[in-house]
Structure 1
Amino acid sequence: MTIFLLRRLLSAVVLLLAVSFLAYVLLYPAAGDIARNILGENASEAQVALKNHELGLDQPLLVQYFTWLMKALGGDLGASYFGSASVWSTLMVRLPVTLSLVIVVTLLTGVLAFAAGIYAAVRKGWVDRTLQILATLGDALPSFIVALFLVTYFAIQLKWFPATGFIPLTESPSGWVRAITLPVIALTIGGVAGVATQVRSATLEVLRHDYIRTVRSRGLSERRIILTSVLRNASTNGLTTLAVQVVGILGGAVVIESVFALPGLGSLAVEATSRTDLPLVIGVVLAVVLIIVIVNLLVDVLVAWLNPKVRLS
């Protein structure tokens, strides 16, 4: 397991370095005249040249990247072009909002999807057909449509939940729950649909194996068989799909945060991109990739624990 973990950690480091390099070399040339964007159209050529020198933008692109990388490895992601706030401090303010959504949605999606997928595979009949219909609807229904319905009906009309804003968990646990409930529901529906379908298919496959009949012949209860033999062997596909869903959750968070006016990484990415605040954009990209890497690493470890054969791959 140790060697398996070290390989996965090394892959994660290489991925982060590759993403940082691609983000830097692709975004900076595409941003146009950054110094003039900061100073405004009325700035003189001398002022623009001075600003470029101040930001190090007059150096070759690879030199700029390696200078940034050395600082980033030391924990300095630079400063925003607008207001000079450090990228790190800005991310630390916005990150808890997005992490709240990602963690709760991922856990909720996993629990609901595994329960629905296994139940449908075991019961079959109308339960199975209903799951397949709901999964198709969940995949087809955009999360922002669900979000608009939820905020209109439950927040504006019934006033059960706040329509906008975020309250940190440390400040008020009940306020935090009320603030993220509707966004979490909007993001969970589509995720549950995709994972539940994979769990159902994997469970049906496991139930056809000879060793399940052997276990049943020993007189064990169906519940115990499901919770031990079936769940352990059918979970690999579901967990892998759940890890992939995290990418969709983060992508959907950009829209959902806009609908509910949540000050997370999604809204920060939109703001920074519209202003060509590239240090912030790259900081958001790295934060998002880091979340995906951590989730995938945790899933890999869990899958390796459930299925020792995976450790050899």
Structure 2
Amino acid sequence: MIKFILKRLGSGLVVLFAVSALTFFLLYASSGSIARNIVGDQATPEQVALKETELGLDQPVLGRYLDWVLGALRGDFGSSWFTSEPVANALATRIPVTMVMVFTAMILIAIIATLIGVAAAVKRGWVDRVVQVGAIIGDSIPGFVIGVILVTVLAIQLGMFPATSTISPGAGAEAWVLSLTLPVIALLINGVTGGAQQIRSAVIKQLERDYVRTLRSRGIKEGEILFKHVLRSAAPAGLTVLSLQLIGMLGGVVILESIFALPGIGPLAVAATVQSDQPVVMGVVMYTVAVVIVVNLIVDLLNGWLNPKVRAS
């Protein structure tokens, strides 16, 4: 197991390095005159040249990338070109908001989708039909549309929740709960039906296996068969779907956080991209890739724990 973890971490570091290099050089090729954007259109050529020297833009791109890598290895991702705020500080203040929202939604999705998916697979009646219809509807409605509907009805019209985030440094638990409830609901609506559909299919596939008939012939109770054997065997497929949903959420929250004015990674990423703020963009990309690598590693470990065949391989 230790060898497997080290191997996956090694491959993750290779991916992280490759993505960082690709992102850095793409930003360099598409950045245009960043120094001119920072100092303004009224600046003289001498002022623009001075700003380029200050930012190191007059240096060869390969040397700039190597300097960035050496700094990143020390935990220094540089500072924003526009606000001078250290990138590490900008990420540290915004990551908790995004992570709390995404992981809260994923835990609830895992629980609710499992219950609904198992019920749909066992009953094969109206619950099954509702899940299938809900999966189609849930997949066809973007998360930001659900977010707009929720904030319009529940926040603006009914006043049940704040229309914009009240999360700030030192804010209490109440501010976090009120500010994150609607975004989490939006993610739930968008993710539960799809997850339930996949779990339903996996459970049905397991119920048709020979080992289930053997267990039934031995007089083992249906509940024990379902939750001790079938659900364990169907879990890897569900975990894979949930991990893909979580990775998709990391991209989807960019718009959702803007709708609810949440101080998360989304608005930071949008602003940095529009301004071509390379240090901030690099920091956001590295954070996102690192989360994806860790999530995939955790899913692989859980699949190995649940499935002996995976452990053997």
Instruction: Please give the range of the TM-score, normalised by the shorter of the 2 chains.
Output: over 0.9
Q: Which residue of 1 aligns with 2:25?
A: 25
Structure 1 residues 250 and 85, CA, compared in 2 at 3 Å: closer, same or farther? same
- 1:216 and 2:219 matched: no
- Inter-CA distance 22–197: structure 2 relative to 1 (3 Å threshold): same
Structure 2 vs 1, CA of residues 44 and 170 (structure 1 numbering), >3 Å: closer, same or farther?
A: closer
Q: Which amino acid aligns with 2:198?
A: Q
1:155-234 equivalences in 2 (<5 Å): 155-167=155-167, 171-234=171-234
Larger CA deviation: 144-153 vs 165-174: 165-174
In 1, Cα distance between equivalents of 2:6 and 2:213:
38
Once residues 102 and 13 of structure 1 are traced to their aligned partners in structure 2, the CA distance between those partners, rounded to angstroms, is 24
Q: Which residue of 2 aligns with 1:131?
A: 131
Give per-residue Cα distances to partners, 1:171-199, cap 9 Å, x unaligned: 42233222111001111222222222211
Percent sequence identity over aligned pairs: 51
Counterparts in 2 of 1:137 and 1:169: CA distance versus 1, 3 Å: farther
CA distance in 1 between partners of 2:71 and 2:181 (Å) = 38
The residue number in structure 1 matching 2:116 is 116
- Tell me by how many angstroms 1:122 deviates: 0.9
Deviations 1:146-205 (A, max 9, x none): 111111111112211111114379742233222111001111222222222211111111
Q: Using a 3 Å threshold, how does the CA distance of structure 1 residues 307 and 24 change in structure 2: closer, same or farther? A: same
| Distance in structure 2 (CA, Å) of the matches to 1:204 and 1:86 | 51
Q: Partners of 2:40 and 2:312 in 1: how far apart?
A: 57
Q: Contact 1:169 / 1:176 at 8 angstroms: preserved in 2?
A: no
The alignment partner of 2:23 has SS state of helix
Q: Aligned pair in 2 of structure 1 residues 157, 55: CA closer, same or farther (>3 Å)?
A: same
**Could you say what the CA RMSD is over the residues aligned between the two structures, in angstroms?**
1.5
Deviation readout 1:102-122 (Å, 9 max, x if unpaired): 111111111111111111011
2:283 corresponding residue in structure 1: 283
Structure 2: how far apart are the matches of 1:10 and 1:162? 44
Deviation of 1:223 (Å): 1.6
Counterpart AA for 1:196? A
Judge conservation of contact 2:167–2:263 (CA < 8 Å) in 1: no
Structure 1 runs, 4 residues or longer, greater than 3 Å off: 168-171
C-alpha deviation, 1:138, in angstroms: 0.4
**1:255 equivalent in structure 2:** 255
| Per-residue deviation, 1:309 | 2.0
Q: In structure 1, give the amino acid aligned to 2:43.
A: A
**Which is further off, 157-166 or 114-123?**
157-166
Offset from partner CA, 1:262-302 (integer Å, 9 cap, x none)? 01101111111122211111111111222222222211111
Match of 2:147 in 1: 147
Larger deviation, residues 53-62 vs 63-72: 53-62
- Contact 1:169/1:175, CA 8 A, preserved across alignment: no
2:242 is aligned to 242
1:29-44 mapped onto 2 (5 Å cutoff): 29-44=29-44
Contact 1:167 1:176 in 2 (8 A): yes
* Structure-2 change in CA distance of 1:2 and 1:166 (3 Å): farther
Deviation at 1:59, TM superposition (A): 1.6
Gaps of 5+ in 2: none
Matched residue, 1:67: 67
Moved more, 4-13 or 199-208: 4-13
User: CA offset at residue 312 of structure 1?
Assistant: 4.8
Q: Measure the CA separation in 1 of the matches of 2:171 and 2:269.
A: 25
Q: CA deviation at 1:218?
A: 2.5
C-alpha offsets along residues 29-57 of structure 1, whole Å, 9 cap, x if unaligned?
A: 20101111111112222222222122111
Alignment partners' CA distance in 1, 2:166 and 2:246? 21
- Please, which moves more after superposition, 192-201 or 85-94? 192-201
Equivalent residue of 1:121, what SS? helix
Q: Aligned equivalents of 2:172 and 2:218: distance in 1?
A: 51
Q: Match of 1:306?
A: 306
1:51-80 deviations in Å (ceiling 9; x for gaps): 212211112211111110001001100000
Which residues of structure 1 form unaligned runs of 5+? none
The 8 Å contact of residues 138 and 193 in structure 1, kept in 2 or not, is answered as yes
* Aligned-pair CA distance for 1:311: 3.4
Q: Which range moved further: 48-57 or 137-146? A: 48-57
